[in-house]
Structure 1
């Protein structure tokens, strides 16, 4: 096995990274063009049964692990066809009013406060509310769902994480078994489609609902918190965007390009021996695709490290690419547009602590503030 010493046209590289906790390792791909190509490379699979090095990343318990992120090929296409109609641009457009109303309600709740934590009081409850509405989670079950969500976002002990996942699993299983089939929420629609011959098992439906819930909350939460931090630390750019709200759509794309909610895609595994970005890999080796560094490849855009939210955005990989492109990307964008638009209307919003003092959640796949204390 060897890595080439030169660089490619977009300064891509492939380097081996040890995983101390397991004694294994993975290959990390950087550089926009090579990451984008690897996302659609059929020689790489998300199926963990191909892992031959002992590293497969975070794994949900069965049967929740049988979701879209762990399927490839025809099996993945079958599940995606089943789920996709709920996330088309036309379907999401019907949720815009609810998104905007939720944003305004959350910010209204901060009225009269001198200080707030925009992660706990805004970036988390916004997507949590929208996804709970989408799935039709009853009001009586939402306090427990909120506790489990916050635990999964901030846990320090594995047993706390396992208990939270188990709680959400029980809730979804119960709701699916009892759901009234005349409802208009997503779970009811999916149950009706399954009973009408939707070619999806009840376990797969539960795993799909869990993925929509968790990905829809985690990724949007981090995009809001990191995007808000960018705006707060670039007041001139924020002021320009406040004066020209028609530029918000472009600003959201620039925020996504700069922050990338998930720093890396789900692990891939080499089906057979192969050469990737000029490096020889053996069958079973793990490959991680760095979405974050791909966005900062110098030849993708001029001065990629400079935050200019109103410039014409360049294509990015914040939501992935290819078959595993984020199913909820359109809904995520709608929440980001509404969130940043309303936040910028707060006349005296500013960080309450120096940026260097912010605590962050940092891992291979994530990098976002734990808290975002602001003066109002």
Structure 2
């Protein structure tokens, strides 16, 4: 699952896997043998099964260390695993309850003016160019700026955040290892600053919740902040960039959306289903034998649930390999399912709606500057482009 062929086209790999068995063993990054759940029904069951644990204990960290292969990166990661994505109830319930209120639909709507303002600024900056890389000029900085607003990162520090998040997205172990200690140190400083001088932002509220009744340890506070940064930034970057690329590769669907912007909410859901930003959910581990689709998974086994595969399962979605922005997409698993359903889904949808609206309004003649086969996809759990070269307007326009 880390071959160049898989990185370029995971859908072909998962189609073959679903055909032979929706639950099967495979070899993951670093040579790790794991169980892959690729069918929709099986994935939905697995995502909600409490016997598939998310708790990262010392033994499981050793497995993750084998995947990463970089001791320095892993040492950094161990400091940042105490968050809700790596926990089961009751810890998960406690951690998630502190974050939930910031990511309701209503709370996310309060951020709309800021998202729209950031979007306009980025679109204005792009106007100076006929050609650009949409990922780096727009899709990367938009969610970064939104997260900085949400967390209350001071303006002078945001350039450093951009550098760290860029290193994280590079998938370059050396860059990540170099940036990791500085990011960890800064997050600790930022938490301490919010404790001394709280403001009207999410991080201040998390710090105050910890101070009020001890529900959040210092390690959990820093780890939760890190989780919000990584999960809230990288996934939205890829949703915007891969989503726009997908529309450009399907001009008839793009034309329908241009004619009727009322289709946009459904189009975003279809883009999430068709080319969602997460290929496989973070690893789970069986606490006892688990049977799925007639296959017995032994205890203490790592399990990868392939969201991108489940969303292309013809048993759930008719002609699943076809993009149709008007199709019913209810039940897609791009944001997961069960207690670990993505807490930031309302904000991600808001950012996508604002981003696509701005791009289509300002640059209706946008074109892809490379052949579809020349698009470079990044390795790892995310389904994300390395770049998206585009022409904003026709030559001489």
TM-score category of the 2 structures, normalised to the smaller one: over 0.9
Unaligned runs of 5+ in 2: 1-17, 69-73, 393-397
How far off its partner does 1:182 sit?
A: 4.0
- Other-structure match for 1:77: 93
How far off its partner does 1:140 sit?
A: 1.2
Q: How many residue pairs are counted as aligned between the two chains?
A: 366
Q: TM-score, normalised by structure 1?
A: 0.92
More helix by share: 2
How far off its partner does 1:54 sit?
A: 6.1
- Other-structure match for 2:227: 211
2: CA distance between counterparts of 1:37 and 1:89? Answer: 26
Q: Is the 8 A contact 1:53 1:286 kept in 2?
A: no
Q: Is the 8 A contact 2:209 2:216 kept in 1?
A: no
> Are positions 1:120 and 2:136 aligned together?
yes
1:46-57 matches, cutoff 5 A = 46-49=54-57, 55-56=63-64
In structure 2, do the counterparts of structure 1 residues 276 and 310 end up closer, same or farther at CA, with 3 Å as the change threshold?
closer
Return the match for 1:200 from 216, 225, 228: 216
Higher mean alpha-carbon deviation, 271-280 vs 118-127, is at: 271-280
How far off its partner does 1:312 sit?
A: 3.1
1: CA distance between counterparts of 2:25 and 2:58? Answer: 18
How far off its partner does 1:358 sit?
A: 1.5
2: CA distance between counterparts of 1:48 and 1:246? Answer: 43
1: CA distance between counterparts of 2:83 and 2:371? Answer: 40
- Other-structure match for 2:165: 149
Q: Is the 8 A contact 2:235 2:382 kept in 1?
A: no
How far off its partner does 1:273 sit?
A: 2.6
Q: Is the 8 A contact 1:301 1:314 kept in 2?
A: no
How far off its partner does 1:52 sit?
A: 7.1
How far off its partner does 1:62 sit?
A: 3.0
**SS of residue in 2 equivalent to 1:196:** helix
Return the match for 1:348 from 365, 368, 377: 365
Q: Is the 8 A contact 1:51 1:286 kept in 2?
A: no
2: CA distance between counterparts of 1:155 and 1:30? Answer: 24
Return the match for 1:65 from 81, 89, 93: 81
Return the match for 1:103 from 114, 119, 127: 119
Q: Is the 8 A contact 1:358 1:372 kept in 2?
A: yes
How far off its partner does 1:51 sit?
A: 5.6
Q: Is the 8 A contact 1:85 1:91 kept in 2?
A: yes
Higher mean alpha-carbon deviation, 268-277 vs 122-131, is at: 268-277
> Are positions 1:357 and 2:377 aligned together?
no
> Are positions 1:170 and 2:178 aligned together?
no
- Other-structure match for 2:395: none
CA RMSD, 1 decimal:
2.1
- Other-structure match for 1:21: 30
Unaligned runs of 5+ in 1: 1-8
Return the match for 2:279 from 240, 255, 263: 263
